[in-house]
Amino acid sequence: MPSKAVLVVLACLAWGTQTPPAVRVAAARVDVRAEARESSPAIGDVHYGEVLPLLGAEAGWDHVTVFVEKSRVDGYVPAAAMAPAPASAAIDAPLRVESTLVAVVGVSPAGVSVALDAGGKTTWVTSVATRAVPVPNEAASAGNLDQLSSSADLPLMTAALAGATPMPVDRAAVVIWTWLMPTSAIVVSSSARPVLTVIYTDLLGLSSDDLAPVLVRLVPVGPGWRLIAMARGRADEPVREEADWLVARTLAEVGGGQSEGGSGLMKIRLARALPPGDYAVIFRLVTSRALAGERVFAGSALATNEGIVFGSAWPFHVS
């Protein structure tokens, strides 16, 4: 009996006669790397909903095929950003090289440290990269976007996390971009009223004067995901170079606290205990200004430039 790996290879060699195993891109934009490691150079990127032939898998990476016109190129994508594609899905995996950002080797979420201090004990919070996925704009009118964010409509989010959101034919049409994170990496706080220390003096591509850390409560999306933020934007926002996107704040920050400190070092002292739930430190831009979508969505992989605003979170749980 041939092994599973052999069957995958045989299936991929027979594209003309049968459907190859495939995965669907389940994040706004995913870098395709030459090797199965984060520090490997990006050879291009693929976008939400596209279907890639699957050649194999290894240690958190999917080995896939992408296309430059009619030429096939093999590469690797993070398995966490992919979802299984149905057998009926058509292969659609163009590799885009003109908009690929150059990864900085060894740089992972840009120069930020977050600590929880309580009862003489310090707990360092690990950063988590978020996944940006769209839901249909019809899901929330101007009057009920806040309601959608507070309830985190499960069918819509489940479809989005599977890469199955129907995208508009007009790429300039508006969708609702949502940023979510997996619950698996959330650390547990030893106190419901910790003092949060955020050090961000070594940001990549930004001045620490441009950002401020804030505390938000995360909205549950099923058992394995939490919603961090939502914003309306064009369907092609992840690759737009024009700085014309005003990313509005749509989830409420946790009030009742006092922030102290200066540029690059901030302490958040809570006036009262936090109710049980999941929370995260994220960054907000100090001034309201238009951003280029390409720079915002780059943060979901590199956490550089303005992408750090939603591309990374430092989560913790209060029991």
**What average pLDDT does the segment 10-14 reach?**
43
Assigned domain for 40 exists: yes
One domain, residues 70 and 167? no
Residue 148 is inside which H or E element, if any? helix 145-151
Assigned domain for 75 exists: yes
Assigned domain for 225 exists: yes
Assigned domain for 90 exists: no
Q: Tell me the pTM.
A: 0.84
Assigned domain for 89 exists: no
CATH number, domain of 75, equals 2.30.30.40
Q: What is the identity of the amino acid at 67?
A: F
Residue 22 in contact with residue 85, Cβ under 8 Å?
Answer: yes
Q: Is 23 left (phi over 0), alpha (psi -120 to 50) or beta?
A: beta
Q: How many domains does the chain have?
A: 2
User: d(Cα 190, Cα 194) in Å, to the nearest integer?
Assistant: 8
3-class state of residue 139 by DSSP: helix
How would DSSP label each residue in 180-207? EEEGGGPEEPS-SSPEEEEE-TT-SSS-
What tens digit of pLDDT does each residue of 164-184 get?
999 999 999 999 998 999 998
pLDDT band at residue 103 under the 50/70/90 scheme: very low
User: What domain range is 69 assigned to?
Assistant: 4-84
